[in-house]
Structure 1
Amino acid sequence: VQTMQVQAGEVFISLLANEDPIFAVDSIPFLATSYDDAEQLWDASRDAIESRLADDGIQLLYAVPWPAQGLYTSREVNGVDDLEGLKFRAYNATTSRLAELTGMVPTQVEVPDIPQAFATGIVEAMITSPSTGANSKAWDFVDRFYDIQAWLPKNMVIVNRRAFDALDEETRQAVLDAAAEAEKRGWEMSRKEAAAKKAVLEDNGMQVLDPSQALMDGLTDVGRTMTDEWLEKTGEDGQAIIEAYRQ
């Protein structure tokens, strides 16, 4: 009964970056480019994120990643130079900065407007998950998906700290135990979702391609720049996260 009184909410971690740049660690491009890397980054950053949420009266329960962000386009892309001039769908400051550093031209487009934006030529490329690509029927407007695994954004499930603390100790522990199981199950489900939705893209005629080494080398350089920019904003706290992640 007590547990039912705690209302949980869900939010993208990086959406809170305007509140504190530490939250942007979740969406630094080409810092963590696999599920294993993303899990390691989460382990390194979780304490800092939990602490900042607690300061705002929020209890973190768990976080689960979306499938990794890939590049959708009809242009052959063998290196970063091939991105030059592409009209690129941006949806936040990170994707706009990524476009700037790679020579693409960003335009803000929300998910429901993606098909229309491509159909009218407003955009020619985007970076998003296989799930969003499949749900928006990307094969209707592009024919290539480069599996660059730019980053794996996470949703976190949170509750009001005061309501959580009002639960008795046994119930609080039961909630935390259930959250730990949900997190483990969620990461496994995300891996399966990534494979399933890439298969959907391929089944509908898209080329699902591994990026060239030259492309990844160039994108990794962009990622280093964006990591350095994030560290300038986060100082010692950010440096501690990166050092823990790279150990």
Structure 2
Amino acid sequence: MMSRRSAGLLMVALIFTAAPAAAQTITWQMANEYPATSIHGEGDQFFARELSERSSGRIAITHSFDATLGYRSKDLLEAVARGAVPVADMYIGALGDIHPIFLLPSLPFLAVTPEQARILNEVARPEYERVLARHNQKLLYPSPWPPAGLWSRRPIAGMEALRGLRVRTADANATATLRAAGALPSQLSFADALPKIKSGAIDAVLSSGDGGAGQRLWENLRYFTAINYSMTMSMVTINLDVWNGLDTDLRLAVQGAARATSERQWKEIQTRIAYNYERMRANRVGIITEVTPGFTRALREAGQIAIEEWLIKVGPRGQETLDTYRKQISAR
């Protein structure tokens, strides 16, 4: 029979043996196709720091930028769904083949200011969440991109310069718009576009060229035309099985970190455009900010084709979403 002293010593031993297991750190790998110095890469790192602090170090994030895991944005939704990566930051427009609602933020000339982009996101978020739930994941936070413009080897002053131009696009909306404008668009991930830009197979890129992405573009594309095409979005999601396996306090930590990161991203975008222009000028990129009204009007007309195609794909809910967004814009 065990003495009381022996039983007490055994209990202490069990407590100390179990303590390290209870305090074990959960490590998540977070995938992102874009560079660490893009606004989204910076947001991912901010989220990781916030989450570590709010969880008292119980959740740690390992970053995989520049598609180092082999996943482009178009692959990441399904990668998260099956648990290949627990958390990912993906460009939303690349998911248009999965569901057309993800093409909403990149509809041409719909949301071109931070305020408009935020209102559109608030209107559309319930739609995003419904689709994501069907793909076994939860939306943690959205994150805006600066307005997209045209990076090119030569200045683009009007529609004539677009005709026959081989342009990399990031989604179906841009592809339809630029094709209607007379260009030769190719939808490619950022990672896949870079070698084609360097080889000369691509003449131009429709992109904000933020942060490290811009640095890689201006090595070969020395001009940027600020057509203010759209303010697109990326989003960070988490696998639902991973989410459901968290304790309540850890879920609260994740939600708190996500809210803080979202606010950081919306605040950062306010000054990011000017910051990017400063970096471009310092690296002798020719920035064309004065776009003629005729050029803008012609691009908007070309963009109507993309909007009409999107409405057919998405159905009545798409028109309802656009109507709600436009009412909110008019009320401001």
Judge same fold: TM > 0.5, yes or no.
yes
**Distance apart, 1:107 and its partner CA:** 4.3
Aligned partners of 2:92 and 2:237: how far apart in 1? 11
**Distance apart, 1:118 and its partner CA:** 4.7
Aligned partners of 2:253 and 2:197: how far apart in 1? 47
2:54 is the counterpart of 1:54: no
Change (3 A) 1:148 1:5: same
Q: Which of 314, 324, 331 is residue 234 of structure 1 equivalent to?
A: 314
Q: Which of 231, 238, 259 is residue 159 of structure 1 equivalent to?
A: 238
**Distance apart, 1:60 and its partner CA:** 0.8
Task: Tell me what 2:264 maps to.
Answer: 185
Aligned partners of 1:74 and 1:192: how far apart in 2? 27
2:294 is the counterpart of 1:214: yes
Aligned partners of 2:112 and 2:221: how far apart in 1? 23
Deviates more, 1:7-16 or 1:198-207: 7-16
Change (3 A) 1:80 1:20: same
Check whether the contact 1:70–1:145 (CA below 8 A) recurs between aligned residues: yes
Map of 1:26-175 to 2, 5 A cutoff? Answer: 26-107=105-186, 111=190, 117-118=196-197, 120-131=199-210, 134-138=214-218, 140-175=219-254
Give TM-score, length-normalised by structure 2.
Answer: 0.65
Q: Secondary structure at the match of 2:108?
A: coil
Q: Secondary structure at the match of 2:133?
A: helix
Aligned partners of 2:190 and 2:204: how far apart in 1? 13
Amino acid paired to 2:267: E
**Distance apart, 1:169 and its partner CA:** 4.1
**Distance apart, 1:29 and its partner CA:** 2.4
Aligned partners of 1:176 and 1:199: how far apart in 2? 34
Structure 2: gaps spanning 5 or more residues: 1-22, 27-54, 61-85, 328-332
Check whether the contact 2:176–2:305 (CA below 8 A) recurs between aligned residues: no
Task: Tell me what 2:93 maps to.
Answer: 14
Aligned partners of 1:219 and 1:28: how far apart in 2? 12
Aligned partners of 1:108 and 1:172: how far apart in 2? 37
2:299 is the counterpart of 1:224: no
Q: Which of 77, 102, 105 is residue 23 of structure 1 equivalent to?
A: 102
1:41-68 Cα distance to aligned partner (Å, 9 max, x none):
1111111001111122211110111222
Rg larger in structure = 2
Amino acid paired to 1:241: T
Aligned partners of 2:283 and 2:237: how far apart in 1? 37
Aligned partners of 1:202 and 1:142: how far apart in 2? 13
Give the RMSD, CA atoms, in angstroms.
Answer: 2.7
**Distance apart, 1:79 and its partner CA:** 3.1
**Distance apart, 1:137 and its partner CA:** 4.7
Task: Tell me what 2:324 maps to.
Answer: 244
2:276 is the counterpart of 1:194: no
Aligned partners of 1:52 and 1:189: how far apart in 2? 28
Change (3 A) 1:155 1:118: closer
Check whether the contact 1:130–1:198 (CA below 8 A) recurs between aligned residues: no
Change (3 A) 1:71 1:5: same
Change (3 A) 1:115 1:19: closer
**Distance apart, 1:74 and its partner CA:** 4.4
1:22-54 Cα distance to aligned partner (Å, 9 max, x none):
111132222211222211111111110011111
**Distance apart, 1:114 and its partner CA:** 5.3
Change (3 A) 1:134 1:14: closer
